[in-house]
């Protein structure tokens, strides 16, 4: 398995893939480790999580540089990702004991009844390359804190990140068999889903991969959590502050080089502010600095692989062929590296590729609507349901619309983002289940009801 720098196209390193026997040994080691790890106090497990956060802070520049080399993330954003992982560790180190504490439920006067949150065993995580540290840490940290052990199948183009995550957790004191990275292919990962020793599986990735994992896990009556794609609407109402909204819109579309499931992708703009918004949006997109992601001044780096450039260009071309206006960009950049020019599409037909599919790169599709009702109808006219945002000068109006979005993450006057304190996940073809917060840490636990009767057989004993 090789990692390749998408900016220079140089091969960074090669990694040996494990043999079938080594994979078997890893699963067996995880299963053997689980009882001991689960038996530790949550406070002890959280102490190691807290130490992992400290190590992330100490190795900030090292890990940020690694991400930038392996998948092209601008260096400033890469540092922010490492810092966010450290925050996640701090959050669960502080809150997991309370989130996993027994929940006493009042039932009968002569009984003590409660819900206990107990770990289930080895959990397999199939993770993507676009946020190569964050996606893994938001799986690993709550599950390790809960008492589960983890097996990671990371994306094949970020093996260095997979190994680094192993290192930081092991250096923090997490036993090697409690968290293991397996540099295996997708076929091997599919086989792991069916292994009896794997008690749960979580996937962040494409809709197709999610369906395959859900089908296999379902056939084994095994819990799964799926965080899939998105085509998030960014709704600009007639009372929105246009200049400030356009400024944020650029970040919402181009963060991580546009390669984010929760990036704004469909910009739905009220006709009263449409021209002003499109003009401001165009100006700011055109002013972005595209180039070497190692440079502090760069806003947009290369896409993670050359094939992703081709896929995005096919979508943009198909959208223009369907009748959209190409206002900016619209083609791969004539330079070394997997670069695609920041692109603005207007007059986009509602059945065009950029309207119905997830676009994974710096390409924005803009739609004009006559009123609030049409904006909401178009926002929900998608098979996806991950995130959505609305921009308005009236917060009550914004909250009312947010409640009507068909999505898992709904924001008013803020672009969609993940936060350890709030549950993260979607509806419809964007998947099911939740990560983060108390909701996420309780996905892979046994919610066990315990009834302790005071007295036996009605004899009045205590």
Distance CA(386)–CA(409), nearest Å, equals 6
Token representation of residue 370: 């006559």
Tell me the torsion sign for CA atoms 430, 411, 142, 15: positive
pLDDT band, very low/low/confident/very high, at 276 (cuts 50, 70, 90): very high
pLDDT band, very low/low/confident/very high, at 458 (cuts 50, 70, 90): low
Structure confidence at residue 456 (pLDDT): 79
Residue with the two structure tokens 């040996």 = 16
Strand-strand pairing, 179-181 and 103-104: unpaired
Number of Cβ within 10 Å of residue 333's Cβ equals 16
Strand-strand pairing, 149-153 and 122-126: parallel
Mean pLDDT of the 245-255 span: 98
Q: Nearest CA to 70 among 154, 7, 147?
A: 7
pLDDT digits (tens, 9 = 90+) for 412-451: 999 999 999 999 999 999 999 999 999 999 999 999 999 9
Q: Structural domains in the chain?
A: 2-229+444-450 (3.40.605.10), 232-412 (3.40.309.10)
Catalytic entry in 46, 85, 89, 261: 261
Structure confidence at residue 457 (pLDDT): 59
Phi and psi based region of residue 321 (left: phi greater than 0; alpha: psi -120 to 50; beta: remaining): alpha
* 227 included as an active-site residue: yes
Question: What are phi and psi for residue 402, nearest 5 degrees?
Answer: -60, -35
pLDDT digits (tens, 9 = 90+) for 22-62: 999 999 999 999 999 999 999 999 999 999 999 999 999 99
Mean pLDDT of the 157-162 span: 97
| Helix, strand or coil, per DSSP, at residue 377 | helix
* 261 included as an active-site residue: yes
Residue 406, H or E segment: none
Residue 145 pLDDT > 80:
yes
Catalytic entry in 70, 81, 166, 227: 227
């Amino acid at each position: 398995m090789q990692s390749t720098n998408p900016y220079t196209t140089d091969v960074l390193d090669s990694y040996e893939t494990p043999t079938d026997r080594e994979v078997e040994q890893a699963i067996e080691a995880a299963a053997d480790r689980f009882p001991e790890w689960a038996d530790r106090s949550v406070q002890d497990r959280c102490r190691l999580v807290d130490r992992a956060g400290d190590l992330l802070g100490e190795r900030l520049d090292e890990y940020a540089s690694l991400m930038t080399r392996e998948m092209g993330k601008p260096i400033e954003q890469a540092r922010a990702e490492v810092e966010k992982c450290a925050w996640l560790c701090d959050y669960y180190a502080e809150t997991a004991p309370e989130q996993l504490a027994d929940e006493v439920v009042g039932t009968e006067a002569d009984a003590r009844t409660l819900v206990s949150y107990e770990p289930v065993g080895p959990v397999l995580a199939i993770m993507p390359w676009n946020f190569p540290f964050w996606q893994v840490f938001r799986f690993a940290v709550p599950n390790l804190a809960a008492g589960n052990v983890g097996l990671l199948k990371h994306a094949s183009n970020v093996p260095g990140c997979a190994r680094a995550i192993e290192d930081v957790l092991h250096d923090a004191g997490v036993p090697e068999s409690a968290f293991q990275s397996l540099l295996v292919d997708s076929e091997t990962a599919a086989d792991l889903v069916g292994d009896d020793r794997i008690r749960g599986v979580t996937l962040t990735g494409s809709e197709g991969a999610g369906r395959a994992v859900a089908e296999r896990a379902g056939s084994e009556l095994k819990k799964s959590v799926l965080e899939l794609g998105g085509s998030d609407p960014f709704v600009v109402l007639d009372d929105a502050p246009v200049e400030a909204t356009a400024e944020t819109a650029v970040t919402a579309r181009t963060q991580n080089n546009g390669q984010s499931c929760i990036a704004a992708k469909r910009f739905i703009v009220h006709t009263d502010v449409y021209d002003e918004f499109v003009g401001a949006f165009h100006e700011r997109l055109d002013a972005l600095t595209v180039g070497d992601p190692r440079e502090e001044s760069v806003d947009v780096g290369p896409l993670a692989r050359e094939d992703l450039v081709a896929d995005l260009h096919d979508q943009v071309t198909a959208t223009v062929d369907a009748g959209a206006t190409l206002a900016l960009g619209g083609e791969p950049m004539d330079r070394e590296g997997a670069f695609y020019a920041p692109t603005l599409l207007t007059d986009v037909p509602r059945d065009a590729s950029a309207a119905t599919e997830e676009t994974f790169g710096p390409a924005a599709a803009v739609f004009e609507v006559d009123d609030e009702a049409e904006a909401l109808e178009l926002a929900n006219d998608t098979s996806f349901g991950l995130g959505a945002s609305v921009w308005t000068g009236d917060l009550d109006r914004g909250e009312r619309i947010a409640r009507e979005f068909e999505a898992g993450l709904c924001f008013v006057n803020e672009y969609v983002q993940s936060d350890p304190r709030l549950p993260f996940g979607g509806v419809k073809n964007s998947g099911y289940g939740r990560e983060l917060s108390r909701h996420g840490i309780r996905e892979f636990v046994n919610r066990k009801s315990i009834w302790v009767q005071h007295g036996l057989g009605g004899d009045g004993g205590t």
